[in-house]
A and B are shown apart, each in its own frame.
Chain A
Amino acid sequence: MKAYLDNAATTRLDPEVLEAMLPLMTEQFGNPSSIHAHGRAVRSALERARKTVAGLLHAAPAEIFFTSGGTEADNTAIRGSIETLGLTHAITSPLEHHAVLHTLEHLARQGRITLSLVRVDEKGQIDLDHLEELLSTQPRALVSLMHGNNEIGNLLDLDAVGELCSRYDAIFHCDTVQTMGHYPHDLQQLSAHFIVGAAHKFHGPKGVGFLYVRPGTRIHPFVHGGAQERNMRGGTENVYGIVGLAKALEIAYRDMDEHRRHIEGLKKRMIDQLREKIEGVLFNGLSADLDRSLYTVLSVSLPPSDINDMLLFNLDIAGISASGGSACSSGSEVGSHVLGALQVPADRANVRFSFSKFTTAQEVDHAVQVVAELYKREPIC
């Protein structure tokens, strides 16, 4: 039996989404910037997609900019705000995705900014008092903190961070890649200046994402060229991707409660079974806390054993696709920086299982059974 439990890395395309993308790949092929009929048909599909995304997030279409993915959206927000608004200080956490961390570290190395890391505890919780302390010494900073952590699932208290950022006049970029399409985002309530999405994390296609920019926050383009995306992002638009993204987000919002119930049930099932079957199993971060972590992610810490080094390999042999840390870097034999920051003990093995609406209870049971088998204690006689 096969079990795909790596949905935080990427999800399977929804057939409904493919359906929506088809016409753009076959008959409607014009360049959306062209003024003839071929072009205008595609342009209107593109603008409809923008309206759909904006509507779902309670934003205005002019606040949505399509990009080549979550990484480009994060890079654009971070570099754009620092360079355009002349910010000299940024605050982030050691648990961010590399799209954020490496971008900020690069800017710090170049001397554009000083970079502060907010303290996190061994559960990966952001120390809000420390954040306030950093903000009070360096007002008008860029704060970049993610909404849902892709490795351990921790959720950020968006209201509290937003409130602190407003109080200290900071620019707040929130990497919402893991929550987009899984949690309702209401930009009338949210005070973030930038949030982002990557379609392939919610059953849309790879290679397309978007950036939301709060009105009044003007940033310079990051990719220079033609007048696309209202001069913010040059390059002929990935129209099938964009149409697919909008469709995927629409479906995600339409079925959100139902999917959430289903997936949360699976996660709980896995936690319960692992606890029952494996002595000494633990969960990293807030992963086992259903209210304070992504319902799609479970980060499991397995007790010391000879087979730890071969765990993922063994899972793969048994048809189970899961992740050691995050999949988002190539040659990922380097340990996870997130687990490193939590100082998880080196003698334990960590595996991330992540679920989607397509995941079944059978897949979860199969994974638990295989893991339990691997960690079965030999009876001591």
Chain B
Amino acid sequence: MYLDYNSTTPVDKRVSEVVFQTLTDVYGNASSQHSYGIRARLLVDEARSSIAKVIGSVKDEIYFTSGATESINFALKGLALHPRNSKRHIITCPTEHKAVLETCYYLESIGFDIDYLPVNEHGVIDLEKLSSLIKQDTLLICLMWVNNETGVIHPIEKIGEIAKEAGAYFVCDGTQGVGKLPINVVESNIDILCFSGHKMYAPKGIGGLYINSYAKAQNRIQPLLHGGAQENGLRSGTYNVPLIAGLGKAFEISLVEMETNKIFIESLRNKAEQELLKLDGAFINGKRAPRIFNTVNVSILGFDTDVFIGINKDIAISNGSACNSSLIQPSHVLLAMGLSNSDAISSIRISLGKDNTNDDIDLLLMRIHDFMTLL
């Protein structure tokens, strides 16, 4: 039973069909000038258009990478380390994903000045505080759209406005929101939006980013990967045509099915949440904040999450984000929201997707009940 869609999703059948077909039939190098190459290039272009359509940009602003982590590294280092950049200040937040935090630690280690905007107990940032942190020297604000652990949604339109007014770039890790919620990068004043295929029913190892033509046209971002100068020189490496085609398909599907998925998944989530709240000493993290419809992060007093996961090996849920979960450590996101170590350790993240059913929720609740009575 799979309740860990924020960690990774299964690949939609319609997407894997596109991937297989491309793997078998289209083997040219998308940079080649001959007919095999042209055929591959058309698929890449088509995918670019599908993505642009979903996020409200134009296709030339979409760049492919190996995933959100690479996109984030590229965005932050590409802006910060550009030879024409002299600004040294970056604002981010302690509840960001490791891809952002680790990259910021790296930039800090080479002399950048990083401010970590705190969140309150609901996981919400204070916009006035954000404005007050801005300096002459602020290069960029890096804040995620949807938090992967709690589902809390940041007010990206307002952040975008603040960034724009300050003349700073707004880099947004959209990994958990893209494909699930509608977005318009222009209206939200987002300069760079990062995303990953495997969070939206496409394969792992493919992702991308939107870079608005301003950042690009002003030639203010430099590549992370140097080489054959693919992607207008901003991302080198042979095009991963099959997975790019698959990613395009996933975007195409998301546009059509976003609303239906939301209604269905939200009803499952609400049911799970209501039942969980009946448990002794249980509370939902981020309950009072705007949250995405598929995520419940619950802390249950005295609940030993690791033992629960250990016993219920057939249930896929998470005790944090997957990238950290091999280490038994309290979630940095929950700690940043002010939870005690023991509350943070007693929390589980349930993240739902379109293949879940009512029975899945019932079974999970039963297992949690059994586990609690056992104690």
| Residues on A facing B (Cβ under 8 Å) | 4, 6, 9-13, 15, 18, 21-22, 25-26, 29-31, 33-39, 68-72, 74-75, 97-99, 102-103, 106, 109-110, 198, 200, 205-208, 223-228, 234-241, 312, 315-316, 319-324, 326-330, 332
Contact = CB atoms under 8 A, between A and B. Distances in A.
A235 B226 CA distance: 19
A238 B246 CA distance: 13
B28 to A, nearest CB: 7
B270 interface: no
Contacts of B319: 35
A241 B231 CA distance: 21
A226 B83 contact: no
A31 B36 contact: no
10 A-B pairs with the lowest CB-CB distances in the bound complex, closest first:
A238-B205, A207-B240, A226-B323, A235-B69, A99-B227, A68-B66, A328-B228, A225-B99, A71-B237, A224-B102
Contacts of B242: 205-207
Given A29-B10, A36-B316, A227-B324, A235 B67 contact: yes
B230 A31 contact: no
B325 interface: yes
* Most A Cβ at <10 Å: residue of B34, B69, B322, B323: B34
B83 A225 contact: no
29 contacts: A12-B27, A25-B19, A31-B7, A33-B323, A68-B205, A69-B237, A71-B238, A98-B227, A98-B228, A98-B236, A102-B226, A102-B229, A206-B238, A207-B206, A223-B73, A225-B97, A226-B99, A226-B323, A227-B326, A227-B327, A234-B98, A236-B196, A238-B67, A241-B243, A316-B35, A323-B34, A326-B228, A330-B31, A330-B231
Contact of B228 (A18, A71, A205): A71
Contact of A328 (B24, B33, B224, B238): B238
B253 interface: no
B72 interface: yes
Interface residues of B, number: 76
A312 B325 CA distance: 53
A240 B226 CA distance: 25
Interface string B1-32: 01010011111000010011001100111011
Contacts of B315: 36
A332 B33 contact: yes
Contacts of B301: none
Contacts of B2: 38
A75 B16 contact: no
B309 A35 contact: yes
B359 interface: no
Contacts of A35: 309, 319, 325-326
A10 B29 contact: yes
Contact of A36 (B230, B241, B313): B313
Given A13-B24, A240-B203, A240-B205, 19 more contacts: A30-B7, A33-B7, A39-B316, A68-B65, A68-B70, A75-B226, A102-B236, A109-B83, A207-B205, A235-B68, A238-B243, A241-B240, A241-B243, A312-B33, A328-B227, A329-B31, A330-B228, A330-B231, A332-B33
Nearest to A5: B34
A321 B27 CA distance: 12
A227 B102 CA distance: 10
Contacts of B34: 6, 312, 315-316, 320-323
B227 A74 contact: yes
B261 interface: no
Contact of B35 (A26, A237, A321): A321
A70 B7 CA distance: 27
Contacts of B65: 68
Given A18-B20, A36-B309, A237-B205, A30 B66 contact: no
Interface in B62-109: 65-70, 72-73, 83, 97-99, 102-103, 105-106
Nearest to B201: A29
Contacts of A324: 33
B205 A239 contact: yes
A224 B16 contact: no
Nearest to A102: B226
A322 to B, nearest CB: 7
A228 B68 CA distance: 14
A327 B31 contact: yes
Contacts of A315: 34
* Most B Cβ at <10 Å: residue of A12, A74, A110, A327: A327
Contacts of A316: 33-35
A36 B99 contact: no
B204 interface: yes
Contacts of A236: 8, 67, 69, 196, 198, 204-205, 322-323
